[in-house]
Structure 1
Amino acid sequence: MSKQWPDLKKEMDNIQVPLEKLDKIIQNTAPQLKKKKSKLKIVSYTAGAAAVALFIFVGSASVSPAMAKIASHVPLIGTFFNDVQDEGLQIAGQKGLTQIIDQSSKDSGITLTITEMFYDGTRLVFGYTQESLFAIGELERPTLEVNGREINFSSSYSGDFITPQKYKGMVEINPTEELPEEFELNMRIDAIGIIPGNWNFQFHVKQSNQVMVLRPEEVRMIEGANVKINSLKIGPAGTDLAVQVNSKEEMDFQPFDLEFFVVDDGGNVLDQLGKDAHGETENGVVETQVGYLFSPLKEGAKKLRVIPYKLENNFPLEKVMIPLEGQKYPFKFSQGDFGAITVTEIQSNEEQIIVYFDVNSESLYDNRLTRNPIWLEDEQGNSLVLEEAPFAKRIEGNSFKQVFKASEIERAHLATFQYPEPIMYDEFELQVPDK
């Protein structure tokens, strides 16, 4: 994100309007909005308001590239999740599975708008915008009531500034208990950043009906603890694995250390997106509920392997540094017991460095290499990892690429750690019924 904000008045006074681009946006958006009319009456009103906003930009006679960029990032009602980094929410947005809220609340000079939400039993996510003289950014933890009863939950936040005065963000809620398919939600936010206030929202939430729930009854014994899959929910925006772990209080077993690979019958490993846990002790037995959120299941999968594993505790991670100067392709460097990386090509220009590489390992790994990442550092040891794209991306098979910040490539270093092999346990096998 640029550190220098454009002077909006000067920008409006200068400029060349990208009329064709804006016209296309409006033309392409109008048919989509008409299709969504039957969902909520409010759509036709808010869609019109969004279109008016676009015409205001066009009618201002001229718009600089900076203003055009801002215009292209203003979220249209009904399209909030379409361009987020999260693949599952992109799918939900593009399929029209989100619920339009468009509710605003103002206090302390800050207008907060809940624009859209998505709920399918695997994920509960809210999209919002925040507007003020100088937008603050992320929200403080909200208070949530479901059908009048306050719930416990963990949460995660993400977002970015559209302009100095406007912030677009998402809140993902992970309840500690299963929510009903349909409910009234009250949301209260007491602070935005360091600014106290009172922002209240109330709306109806209805679960998307495109969710499949598997409830296997199998139990595995892992290091003396009983591990049971309570449910596996398969939805368009993600795959939710709910696990119950029963262990004796005196045991050394830590349920939160337990991880899972979810692999379909095509060999595709789902990416883990999140994790939460809570538990209680009764009569010397600790019952822990652990939730894992994974990326969406690929179409056509018939069988799933759910494989428990742990990473070795107290393993000394030894850093490996490989200077790029003088390297000839392909070249290989070790990731310890986990395997090795073979770099096949590196491309660079003024804007970025792209590293192409293969993973050589007998262990399972996901599409982003979250368990065995590599990264680039400049000659001062500063990380060149992109904040907006911090992970590698699978091309196919064991081939990956990762984009990094631009730097003097001859002075840069590739870095990784010597990783241990994961400790694997007996897997669960699940059948995916036809829809």
Structure 2
Amino acid sequence: MLFGKLSIILSLVTSLSASLDHTNNTEKPYPTSVFQQMHTMGFDTSSKYKLSTKVNQKIQLEDTTITITDVLYDGINIYIGYQTRPYNKVYHDYHFSFKVNGKPMDGFGYSIDQRKINNSQGANILTLTPRNPLNSEFELSLYLNQKNSKQNLTSSMVELPIKKIKGVKSYSLSLNKSLQGNRYSIKKVVFSPIVTAIIFDAEISVHDHNSIKYLLFNNEIMLNPLGSGGGGGPEKDGKIVTRNIARFEPLEKLPKRLVFQAVKVQNPKNGSNKLLEKPLSKLPLSLKQGEVGSIKVTEIKNGKNYTKIYYEVEGKEPYKQATAFFLKDDANQKYDMLKPPDRLSDDEYKFVATFEPTNQTDNLSIVSAQLKKPVSIDTFKVEIKLEK
């Protein structure tokens, strides 16, 4: 699972074509897979079943080395895993452009999920969403453009072999709904080992554009949202017309039905900085998490290199609640999750979280944030029935 909800905003841009310097260095052995390092929903599956294509392409930008370790294409998005040394937020200083088989990609959106591995290394996954369908196999040219210390534009390029993974199924849909004057047309649902995606067109008021939250339910259980975004034409008569992709956790089995929901929300103006703490000396133990619900710890397991906490959450924001806590011992030592928690059941919000090995297991406490509940203003639901 993810550390909280990722906010991914994809905007369609025009590819840049320019005369660029080429840097394409390959060496072995392969570095550690970024998909394995990130432990992000879906990519653990890709590592387990060896779905990604391993590459070892390096780009040198002044004092930063970027190593691309993996690429994966599921027919919706191209995922590019890369390491940065040293760790820093270099994506603020450069931008990407792309070509497919030597031709500029005329429209695309991309987002970057970055995580600090240690003080000298960062792990990143770039999610690239092409506007137009692509072939099952192609060569992707990735251009990295950056202004150097003298404010001169420097560019580098790598060639990446892309092959669509197997096991992707899609269903065309024609479902239309309205919410407070905003119109939606659901076009397709896609199932891949990496993601469950709903593709839809929307005509949305400019004022509502950033306040709509998309949810997907399977057997009344909310799927973990992995982000949504889209791009389209300019504003016209106070409306924006966009093509959108709402992304959720992958499903191991194809469902008979799903429920897609759009919610217009008003987030709390002031978040809570309050924390609530309880000792874990006696289990099971329940702890309030503010206005959204509660968490119940049922078991603790200790290993040589880890401490595992088994728990369940009850409330309106299950995935936010599942990551809104840490552990503390009586020496005031704080322990954070080593990776996002795993959900243990398809029909319940039960999780296991892995922490660093704790020094004083008998004196551990759980400390949870006290979360405020966003206000739901309006909503619509669409039932998606699937024929297998």
TM-score relative to the length of structure 2: 0.71
What letter corresponds to residue 236 of structure 1 in structure 2?
Answer: P
Q: How does 1:302-341 map to 2 (within 5 A)?
A: 302-314=256-268, 316-318=270-272, 321-325=275-279, 328-341=282-295
d(CA) in 1 for partners of 2:258, 2:47: 26
8 Å Cα contact 2:268-2:374 kept in structure 1? no
- Identify the residue that residue 179 of structure 2 maps to in structure 1: 222
- Identify the residue that residue 127 of structure 2 maps to in structure 1: 173
**Is 1:239 aligned with 2:192?**
no
- Identify the residue that residue 155 of structure 2 maps to in structure 1: 198
Q: How does 1:282-301 map to 2 (within 5 A)?
A: 282-301=236-255
Cα deviation, 1:120-174, whole Å, max 9, x if unaligned, reads 123211234567xx6878554322234224544232143666996xx57443223
Q: How does 1:9-408 map to 2 (within 5 A)?
A: 50=28, 74-75=31-32, 81=35, 84-104=38-58, 108=62, 112-128=66-82, 140-146=94-100, 147-158=103-114, 169-175=123-129, 177-181=131-135, 183-191=138-146, 197-203=154-160, 205-249=162-206, 252=207, 254-265=208-219, 267-279=220-232, 280-314=234-268, 316-318=270-272, 321-325=275-279, 328-346=282-300, 354-361=308-315, 363=316, 365=318, 369-370=319-320, 373-376=323-326, 378=328, 384-386=335-337, 388-389=338-339, 391-396=340-345, 397-405=348-356, 406=358
8 Å Cα contact 2:313-2:322 kept in structure 1? no
d(CA) in 2 for partners of 1:232, 1:333: 37
CA apart distance, 1:89: 2.5
What letter corresponds to residue 369 of structure 2 in structure 1?
Answer: T
8 Å Cα contact 1:80-1:93 kept in structure 2? no
d(CA) in 1 for partners of 2:311, 2:375: 22
d(CA) in 1 for partners of 2:276, 2:122: 39
d(CA) in 2 for partners of 1:151, 1:321: 45
CA apart distance, 1:210: 3.4
Other structure's SS at 1:426 match: strand
Aligned length: 349
Cα deviation, 1:331-362, whole Å, max 9, x if unaligned, reads 4333355333333345678966544333234x
Identity level (%): 15
- Identify the residue that residue 20 of structure 2 maps to in structure 1: none
CA apart distance, 1:271: 1.7
Which of 1 and 2 has greater Rg?
Answer: 1
What letter corresponds to residue 228 of structure 2 in structure 1?
Answer: K
Match of 1:417 among 350, 367, 370: 370
- Per residue, is there more strand in 1 or in 2? 2
What letter corresponds to residue 297 of structure 1 in structure 2?
Answer: L
- Identify the residue that residue 12 of structure 2 maps to in structure 1: none
Q: RMSD value over aligned CA atoms? A: 4.1
Q: 1:371 to 1:176 in 2, by over 3 A?
A: farther
What letter corresponds to residue 416 of structure 1 in structure 2?
Answer: A
What letter corresponds to residue 172 of structure 2 in structure 1?
Answer: R
- Per residue, is there more helix in 1 or in 2? 1
Cα deviation, 1:225-260, whole Å, max 9, x if unaligned, reads 1123233221122122233331345xx4x2332223
- Identify the residue that residue 15 of structure 2 maps to in structure 1: none
Other structure's SS at 1:116 match: strand
d(CA) in 1 for partners of 2:63, 2:294: 54
Does 1 or 2 have the higher relative contact order (CA < 8 Å, sep 6+)? Answer: 2
What letter corresponds to residue 374 of structure 1 in structure 2?
Answer: A
CA apart distance, 1:370: 2.4
Cα deviation, 1:256-289, whole Å, max 9, x if unaligned, reads 3222332234x55422223334353124422244
What letter corresponds to residue 299 of structure 1 in structure 2?
Answer: K
Unaligned runs of 5+ in 1: 1-45, 54-72
Unaligned runs of 5+ in 2: 1-25
What letter corresponds to residue 155 of structure 1 in structure 2?
Answer: S
What letter corresponds to residue 370 of structure 2 in structure 1?
Answer: F
**Is 1:428 aligned with 2:382?**
yes
What letter corresponds to residue 187 of structure 1 in structure 2?
Answer: L
d(CA) in 1 for partners of 2:160, 2:305: 44
